[in-house]
Structure 1
Amino acid sequence: MTNPVETRMTRKRQSILAAATELFLQRGFLATNMDEVAAMAGVSKQTVYAHFGTKEALFLDIVTGMTGVAGDELEEQVADPVDGRPIEDFLKDFAEQQLAIVMTPRLMQLRRLVIGEAERFPELGKRLHAKGPRRSIDRLRKALAHYRERGDVEARDLRGAASFFNWLVMGEPVNDAMLLGDQAIPGPDALRAHARESVRIFLSAYGRKQ
């Protein structure tokens, strides 16, 4: 049976996280205070502190959660390579889904926020990197190992090749959105075209030589 007390606590925690996420993304860390978080969440300030302890801990929890959700979604959307699936199909699927998931105003706002607070909270950058780029690169490395065994990839340094593909896909779109604002996020057709061109370039360098 569901425990009513645990259910209420979970609901309050989710309300706090949702409110704090909106405020942090809109105002930044320093301009957000716990009174505002409590008011927006519909709980007392004591409840906020009971769940998270400090504003810093709440902030870290949000960064970890948002980047983790994006990584989880990519794993759900793109199946690991299996025998018979062409490498080009896998890489196109991976690149297109990664761009669709990451290139959103919300995640770009989070990236800007983390960069702005990186010196104050060095742990932020580490968490964003671990849950974001490093997770994607590690998964790509494992996929490329599968395709190297099949003879579809020629690369001694699989992690280097995976990193190259990751940033070939993400580099320009992310950089433009970070520096030029959300209006610089490409539309779906442009993102798909960029993903496919990234795959073509990558396979020209690392694919099986005829």
Structure 2
Amino acid sequence: MAAGLNRSERKHKAILDAATQVFLRNGYLGTNMDDIAALSAVSKQTVYKHFESKEALFIEIVTSMVSVAGDTVHERIPQFRGSEDLAAYLVNYGYQQLSVVLTPQLMQLRRLVIGEVSRFPELAEVLYERGPKRAMASLAATFTHLAGQGLLVVDDASVAASHFNWLVMAEPVNRVMLLGDIAIPKPEELHRHAREGVRVFLAAYGKN
């Protein structure tokens, strides 16, 4: 259990961790609170004390996982320093996005939310707002900064961010979404893919 948490907080975390495993393995309809209680080693009553319903538990899991993933990307990518090589900086940016998103848990979560979009449309919005939309907003701010330094030629930073995002993310994410965990690329392949995406991006937006 996590250090520094009181007893109630440890139980809360244990329930969330167990529920994440069960939801991702069984889907929403295939999950029941008895399984979550058993896996988290608490009573079913305790589960309901922390979460009033299966729906509330599912919503918290999706919201938490997406937020943590977004925070991780932004923590890993520092602001560009003028002494850096721009291409290398952008390759690292793309690689960090790929390496955070292309994990079994997040890919399973995306599939699960898409499968439940008619039941929980608000969760699809959370996934989009805190995932791709947040990433592209951060990219747009970065590209505005780089254009201000004379390093990129950008008329619309949001469009440039969308182009960068899909050059880097589209192919591997779509492949893993459809083919499963076995299709998650190795780190060296992710680096190579990010380099090629950046090369095309800079051909369009780089300062000649």
Query: Sequence identity of aligned pairs in percent?
Result: 52
What is the aligned length? Answer: 205
* Partner amino acid, structure 2, of 1:71: G
Aligned counterparts of 1:144 and 1:84: Cα–Cα separation in 2: 16
Partner in structure 2 of residue 170 of structure 1: 169
Aligned counterparts of 1:172 and 1:158: Cα–Cα separation in 2: 22
1:26-175 map, 5 Å: 26-175=25-174
Is the 1:16–1:37 contact (alpha carbons within 8 Å) kept by the matching residues of 2? Answer: yes
* Partner amino acid, structure 1, of 2:144: A
* Partner amino acid, structure 1, of 2:182: Q
Aligned counterparts of 1:61 and 1:80: Cα–Cα separation in 2: 31
Aligned counterparts of 1:83 and 1:15: Cα–Cα separation in 2: 45
* Partner amino acid, structure 1, of 2:171: E
Normalised by the length of structure 2, the TM-score is 0.94
* Partner amino acid, structure 2, of 1:24: F
For structure 2, the 5+ residue unaligned runs are: none
Aligned counterparts of 1:57 and 1:207: Cα–Cα separation in 2: 46
Does 2:141 correspond to 1:179?
Answer: no
Q: Give the superposition deviation at 1:85.
A: 2.9
Is the 2:33–2:44 contact (alpha carbons within 8 Å) kept by the matching residues of 1? Answer: yes
> CA RMSD for the aligned pairs?
1.4
Aligned counterparts of 2:51 and 2:152: Cα–Cα separation in 1: 46
Aligned counterparts of 1:186 and 1:36: Cα–Cα separation in 2: 32
Partner in structure 2 of residue 23 of structure 1: 22
* Partner amino acid, structure 2, of 1:86: D
Aligned counterparts of 2:200 and 2:41: Cα–Cα separation in 1: 51
Is the 1:87–1:147 contact (alpha carbons within 8 Å) kept by the matching residues of 2? Answer: no
Aligned counterparts of 2:47 and 2:141: Cα–Cα separation in 1: 41
Question: Which structure 1 residue ranges, 4+ long, deviate > 2 Å from structure 2?
Answer: 82-87
Is the 1:137–1:166 contact (alpha carbons within 8 Å) kept by the matching residues of 2? Answer: yes
Partner in structure 2 of residue 202 of structure 1: 201
Is the 1:148–1:154 contact (alpha carbons within 8 Å) kept by the matching residues of 2? Answer: yes
For structure 1, the 5+ residue unaligned runs are: none
Q: Give the superposition deviation at 1:50.
A: 1.8
> Aligned to 1:132, what secondary structure does the other structure show?
helix
Is the 2:144–2:154 contact (alpha carbons within 8 Å) kept by the matching residues of 1? Answer: no
Deviates more, 1:44-53 or 1:80-89: 80-89
Question: CA deviation digits over 1:35-84, x for unaligned, max 9?
Answer: 11111111122221221211111111111111111111112211122333
Q: Give the superposition deviation at 1:156.
A: 1.3
Partner in structure 2 of residue 11 of structure 1: 10
Q: Give the superposition deviation at 1:17.
A: 0.3
